Structure formats: C-alpha cells, structure tokens
Structure 1
Amino acid sequence: MRFTLATVVAALPYLVSATIVPEQHGQSRSISLGKRSNLRGEDGVVNADNLRAHLKSTVGKIQRGAAAFERNTGARHPAASASTPAKRDVASDKLTDDSEELWYGKISVGTPAVTYTVDFDTGSSDLFLPGANCGSTCSGHTKYKHTASSTSKALGKSFSLAYGDGSTVKGKQYTDTVKIAGLTAKKQTLGSASQYSSGFESSNFPADGLMGMGFKSISEYNADPVFQTLVKDGETTDGVFAFKLSDSGAELTLGGLNDDLYSGKITYVDVTQEGYWQVDVDAVNVESDKVLGSTSAIIDSGTTLVVATTSDAKKFYDAIDGAEEATDIGDGYYTVPCDSIPDVSLTFGGKEFKISSDTFNLGQESSGSSKCVGGIVGEDTGLDFWIVGDVFMRNVYTVFDVDNSRVGFAELA
C-alpha cells in the first residue's frame, strides 16, 4: 500500500522521530544544475588553496548564521560552544554543480522578470544579487536593477555578509517578485549588492547570486527565505523541496518529490533545532564498523566537504589503515591510500547510507602521490555539530520537509 504525503502528515503524531515512510508525489518541473571543477585539477591532484578557501568560507557562513540566530531569537544557538560566540503546484529546477562547491540554477526577479543564476544553499537563508551600482567585481554577472522593476520596494535597510575566506557582500534590502520554475514568491526580501569582493567575481563564482534555503531564524534580514514565502503564498503542493546532486541529471524539486530520482523508501529524521537543517546522525561507519556514535549534524548543500570536529575527525581516520595527517594541505585534512579508499557511511534513522569512493576521494595529495585526500575534514567551528555537505549528499536523494521540520534520505534511482 502506498500513501500520499497528506496521509503521512496526518499520521505524524503516531510515528517515532526517525521513520521510514512510503510516499507518492505528483508531476514536477525541473531546473538544471551545471558543473565546473576547481577543487581538483585535470591531473587528479587537489587544489590545496581552493580547498582551504572553501573550508574557511563554509565556517564563516555557519558562524554568521549562528550570530543571526542570536540576534533574531534573543538566545544563543543551542549548539554554540561556550568558547564561541488548496491544490497547489510542484516544481523542480535543473541544477549545475560548480567545482563541487556550489549548485546553481535559474530564477527570475522583478517586473518585467529578469533571469539570474543563483547558488541554492541550505546552509543559509537569504537571497542576494549584484546590484546596478556594483563595481568591476560584478562584471560578468547579471545585475539587479531595482528601478527597472515596478514591483520593487526599498526597505531602507542595509546588509553586510562576511565569509571566512575574506569574501564580502554589502548592499541594500528590497522586496520584489521572485519566480522559480513557474512558482511565484511575492514581496520577497532580497539583497541588492553594491559591493562584491573578489571571491564573488564571475571567474570565482559563476552564479549571479545566492539563494538560502534554511530557516528564518538564521536570516541576516530576519525575513522569510524564498521557499517559505512560496509556501505562505500557496504556491507549492507541499512544504517540501528535495535535491539530487550528481554529475548529470542534478535537480532541485520544489513543492514535492520527483519519484523518478530515488528508489525504495525515504528515511526521515526530525530537525532538532530549526535554523540550519540540524538532525542527529546515529553513527559514522568505516567498513560497516561503527567508529563514532550519535552526533549532531547540519545538512548543507552549500558545502562540498563533510566537516567534523577535530577530535571526531582524528577518531574517524584512526580507524582507517594507512590514514595520515595531510599537513601539506592544511590542519584537519587527512590522506588515505589511493589504492584502498575505505567504505564509509553515515547512519540516519537506523539506515546506513554509503559515501562512494569517488565522492570521498577529493584527489591525490600531489602529482604522482599514492595518497589521496579524504572528504571528511576536521575543523572546530564553535558549534557542536558536523556540517554534512556534498561529499555525502551526492550519494542520496535528500528531502527537506518544512511542513514537518524533518530531513529525509533515499537511495538514488
């Protein structure tokens, strides 16, 4: 017997916190994701500078979100350590993977509508685009001209976003009409950037802007993210979106699921703290042996790596024969023998989901080396959770359920 999502929602009070539920969903429309690689060269060697910059940017984003959470809610994020501060529609968007660092697709903004590419990032919550008065660093990007949109309204507020790699975005806030795959978010808060640092130049950041898909509590604007606006405006079938992240056929689906992209049942785990998509991992496994027990994690499409605490990363690699610290790459990085990449998996809701050797292996440490850099990295962010990014997400169909505050995982079809 198969159940609709409405049936599952009705039954939620009677289900345990981590459940496996069969579902059926309607037709979807798609937005593509494209790909470019600059974390690994054509020779298979990792680009250490880009890898370090990506990790810094990720840490900065997560710490900024935690600061926004405190401003918006009046309380420190619970994961912060003491040391650190009617019938509606289903749509989908084909996605592009840029250097396994960001996944981007098309949206349109304004009246008349102008098309932009944006990075879809579940680890943040705000939409920003380069503004008309942005300088040379915005060259090559499509610029948002608020004066040309009849539905644009200035909010009289500024914004400033700083990333750990030194990248910054600054500008003014507006509301305007945002469309994605035919779904319309009216009076959506967005940022029009008057300044992009070099990290967001088109040569480094091919998307025009970024669209956060977390919760309102980590919004720098303290405003609803685009997807939550779509739900409030009655544009989606269900308050659900899902990612398939892969080298081909990558897709973001909004308002439901695309049954053709996954097989079997979806395993759901409850969000433990809204802000990020924060859930519990039952176990971290090497060769099917549990090497780490229960830990908290956020599921972040805007991060390539899986970022563990430094102590957890050490315990993880201690369980792998031949693993060594990769000091030439940076603190927290490790290598494993290229000819024996380990079987690694994460357990959610009692089900083990594997990380393929292709996604776990970031590339050779150096040209001709027999050592390959592992995709789980140790870094202390000041928040007591792992950041589970694309190294894991590229192996599963990932469901983000806003209505029921949960995340689901399924095997790819």
Structure 2
Amino acid sequence: MRFTLATVIAALPFLVAAAPHPEANAGVKIPISKRSSLKNADGSANIPALRAHLAQSTEKIQNGLDQYQRNTGSRHPLASKAIKKRDSGSVSLTDDNSLLWYGAISVGTPAKVYTVDFDTGSSDLFLPGPACGSSCNGHTKYDPSSSSTSKDLGKTFTLKYGDNSTVSGEQYTDTVAIAGLTATTQTLGAATTYSDGFQSSNFPADGLMGMGFESISVYNAEPVFQSLVAQGETTESVFAFKLAAVGAELFLGGTNPDLHVGDFTYTGVIQEGYWQVSLGAISANGEDFATNVDSIIDTGTTLIVGDTKTVTAFYQSIGGEANSDLGPGLYTYPCDKDPKFSLTFGGKSFDVSADTFNMGKVSQGSTSCIGGISASDEEFWIVGDVFLANVYTSFDLGNSQVGFANLA
C-alpha cells in the first residue's frame, strides 16, 4: 500500500550550541578509508552483497523511525510510509560487504585507539566489549574496566540490522576523542554480541559511530558530535564529508575549503532525526523525476534508494529495466551507455558520474550493468554514496541544514 507524504510537519527545535571554549578547535581533519566489496574481483557486480546492502539500508531507516517514536512519544512523519520488508530471507548480513567510510577515534583513560564507521543514518556509538565472543576476533575491544573515566549505566542495548541480526551489549559513559576534540561522559555501547556480519573479514572497522540526531538514538543520548558541540569543543557546529575515492575526509567543526569550489547550496532539514531534506528532482535526458520528495542523506548507504514507480520510469528513460533475476529493487542498463543524470537540492542540480553509478556488470562478459539507483516500497528516498561521492557535503547542526558544493 502507498501513502502520501504529509506536506506539513512540525520541526523540532534547532540545537543551540554551547559557546566554544577559548581553546576550541576551528576544525580538524580525520582521514577516512573505504572498503568496497560490491564488485567482484573481475569487476562484475557482487549481487548477493547488493541485495543485502539494500535490505540493510532500508531496515536501518525503519529501526530509526521506530526509535524516534519511543524517544519522543510521537510518530515520525516518514513512518506513515512504513517500509515494507522485502523477501530477502536467503540473504544474510554476512554477505553484506558494503562500502564503509571509517577512521580512528580514541576512547577511555588512558586513551585507546579504535576504528569506526562514520554513519549519518544512525546516532549511536558502539564498540566490541571484553565479553564479545569469537565474532569479535580481529577487532580491537573496548574494556571499560581498564578506563578510569568509564561508568556503567546499568542499561543494555540492542541494535538491529537488515536481516534482523543484532549487536547487543551494555551501555557506558566514557571519554571519546577524535583528532584532538574530546567529549566527556559520552554514552557508548560495549557489545557482548556481534552478529556474523560484523566479523572483521566483513566489517573492517571495530565499531560504528552514528552522526544523526539524538531523537533516533537507541540510547536516547547525545551522539558524539552533538556532545562535542555542547561541550564547546568546536567553533562551528558543522561537520563535512568528502567521500570521493581519493582523499576521503571527515572534517569536524566546519568545512575544509581546500576540498570544494564555489559556494554551498543549502537545504533545510525537514524533521530532525535523520538528515532529512527535500530532493528537488532527479533529472535525466531533460526529464525530471521524483520532484520535491523527502530524502535522507546517509553516508552509511552506498546506493540511492527510491520508490519503485519513479525508479522504473528513470531506468526506462536511460534504456534500463528491472531485472527479476537479480532480486527485488535492482535494475540493469546497457553497459555501453553513459547515463547523464543529476540530483537537485536547494534549487541546484549536481551531476552524478557514470563511475559512481555503475555497480558492475551482471556477470563477467555481460553487456548489462547494474545501476546505483535501486527501488524499495517507501515513498521517501535514501541518498547514499552513489551521489555523495560526487559532492562535498556539509552537515550543519546549528542551523539544521545540509549543504552541497562541487568538489575541488
């Protein structure tokens, strides 16, 4: 069943940042790395991984919508277009070797270094704890008993993923630092259980750091960046990503002028929870699709995910089609075509390159390739790295807006 997105929703109050400390940092760079296994070694598409990634991305958003209602007592407006779970029972999270953007943080006193996946589509920080079993082998474990600043909150947590596998454990507070910026009494999770999908062979980072809003936090606690802002560690309540293949970077406390050209085009956050903004249009061959729909800007998703009707029309315009052999939501197009299309935000269109759109051939030697726009049953869109790798993106917490600029 399809539902019409409400055109009027109540915005949560904007975050008011604390005045920065005199020594607050004007901005710090965190180099980030990626690991992509959505293509096989021969360059063809890793179809099981694509199917699992699509399931995980949509399920993650659904879980956040549910958590929003638990935290606020109000139903999130996007929940009226409830995601219909796909039939993906044969696809486990173990197969989801999706693209991750990860870098280093330190936790505890004395500080110990961990790697985390930076994810704007969730809001919680978790690491493998000392009691985590064999699925945590190969990861650096966080041991609260070895940190003089840790405190057990006496609460458990469970985080669900695309195939209903979970990460679960105990909640603590401790000191968390990123490139010299320090958040004290930061809530984080020490996992006692990692699903198979978080084994080091599938998930190279030790844990995950969510960068969404507090209202979708499973802990119902401030995310790390919000803590840094509230504690006056940054002069600007802004973080920014470059997710291109070369020189990928997370910048905290502003934007890096060396990584973009021209001014930012900003679009306001419609509902704080996710980084949810209006997608003005997706355009191809002079035709506009998906005009003025809600979209979630998610660094934790590789694909662009839209509603089936619009995605089907888009592929028809570039000579592509749905391919039932691949599973629900995936589409193919002729490999010898170079689709020209763009996404519009804030009245400005940004081109998407053929390289980021092409997920690989259906099989080695095939003339059909899998496209980076996939379909799901919700009406809103999830905008992942297929688009974000083409732009420099600013997440402005203080003004509740997202900005895009062309890469330098």
Residue 292 of structure 2 corresponds to which residue in structure 1?
294
Question: Secondary structure of 2:30's match?
Answer: coil
Partner AA of 2:398 in structure 1: D
Shift of residue 81 of structure 1? 2.3
Q: In structure 2, what is the equivalent of residue 404 of structure 1? A: 399
1:339 alignment partner, one of 336, 341, 354: 336
Distance in 1, Cα, partners of 2:42 & 2:299: 26
Question: What SS is found at the alignment partner of 1:71?
Answer: helix
| Aligned equivalent of 1:66 | 65
Q: Deviations over 1:342-367 (max 9, x none)?
A: 11110111111011000011100111
**In structure 2, distance between residues paired with 1:83 and 1:223:** 25
1:278 aligns with 2:282: no
Is the 1:35–1:99 Cα contact (8 Å) retained in structure 2?
Answer: no
- What does residue range 109-124 of structure 1 map to in structure 2 within 5 Å? 109-124=107-122
* Counterpart AA for 2:147: S
Q: Which residue of 2 aligns with 1:372?
A: 369
Q: What displacement does 1:167 show?
A: 3.0
Deviations 1:237-257 (A, max 9, x none): 100000000111000000011
Alpha-carbon distance in 1 for matches of 2:83, 2:329 = 19
Deviations 1:161-193 (A, max 9, x none): 110134310000000000001000010000000
Deviation for aligned residue 1:33: 1.6
> Quick one: which amino acid aligns to residue 146 of structure 1?
P
Unaligned runs of 5+ in 2: 1-24, 85-95
Give the Å deviation of 1:289: 2.7
Structure 1's 82 and 57: CA in aligned 2 closer, same or farther, altered over 3 A? closer
Shift of 1:55: 1.1
Shift of 1:100: 5.8
Contact 1:215 1:274 in 2 (8 A): yes
Q: Distance in 2 between matches of 1:82 and 1:194?
A: 34
- The whole-number CA distance in structure 2 between the counterparts of 1:187 and 1:83 is 35
Structure-1 separation of matches of 2:115 and 2:312: 38
Mapped partners of 1:60, 1:84: distance in 2: 8
Aligned-partner residue type, residue 325 of structure 1: A
**CA distance in 1: counterparts of 2:81 and 2:391, whole angstroms:** 34
1:11-410 to structure 2, matched below 5 A, reads 28-81=27-80, 101-321=99-319, 323-381=320-378, 384-410=379-405
Give the count of matched residue pairs: 373
> How far apart are 1:326 and its partner, in Å?
2.0
In structure 1, C-alpha distance between the alignment counterparts of 2:182 and 2:145, rounded to whole Å: 20
Query: What's the secondary structure of 2:309's corresponding residue?
Result: helix
- State the Cα distance separating 1:284 from its structure 2 match: 0.7
Task: Give yes or no for contact 1:173–1:189 (8 Å, CA) kept in 2.
Answer: yes
The separation in 1 between residues aligned to 2:323 and 2:395, in whole angstroms, is 34
> Residue deviations 1:44-86, cap 9 Å, x none?
100111111111111121111001000011111101126569x
Paired with 1:246 and 1:327, the residues of 2 have a C-alpha distance of 31
SS in 2 for 1:369: coil
Q: Distance in 2 between matches of 1:83 and 1:207?
A: 31
Over aligned residue pairs, what C-alpha RMSD do you find? 1.5
- Cα distance in 2 for partners of 1:169, 1:200 equals 9
**Which consecutive unaligned segments of at least 5 residues does structure 1 have?**
1-25, 86-97
Partner residue, 2:11: none
Deviation per CA, 1:200-244: give whole Å up to 9, x if none.
Answer: 000000000000000000000000000000000000110000000
Question: For the residues of structure 1 that align with 2:82 and 2:140, how far apart are their CA atoms?
Answer: 41
Amino acid of the structure 2 residue aligned with 1:31: I
- Between stretches 160-169 and 384-393, larger displacement belongs to 160-169
Contact 2:129 2:141 in 1 (8 A): yes
Q: Shift of the alpha carbon at 1:36?
A: 2.6
TM-score (norm. length: structure 2): 0.89
What is the CA–CA distance in structure 2 between the aligned matches of 1:69 and 1:34, rounded to whole Å?
30
- Give the 3-state SS of the residue equivalent to 1:35 in structure 2: strand
Distance in 1, Cα, partners of 2:372 & 2:181: 35
SS state at 2:28 partner: coil
What SS is found at the alignment partner of 1:273? coil
Q: Residue 115 and residue 190 in structure 1: after superposition, are their counterparts in 2 closer, same or farther (change >3 A)? A: same
The percent identity for this pair of structures is: 60
Give the Cα separation in 1 of the matches to 2:372 and 2:351: 13
Task: Name the structure 2 match of 1:88.
Answer: none
Question: 2:101 is matched by which residue type in structure 1?
Answer: W
- Any conservation in 2 of the 1:241–1:399 contact (CA below 8 Å)? yes
User: Match of 2:34, SS?
Assistant: coil
Q: Does 372-381 or 116-125 show the bigger shift?
A: 372-381
1:349/1:105 CA distance change after superposition, 3 Å: same
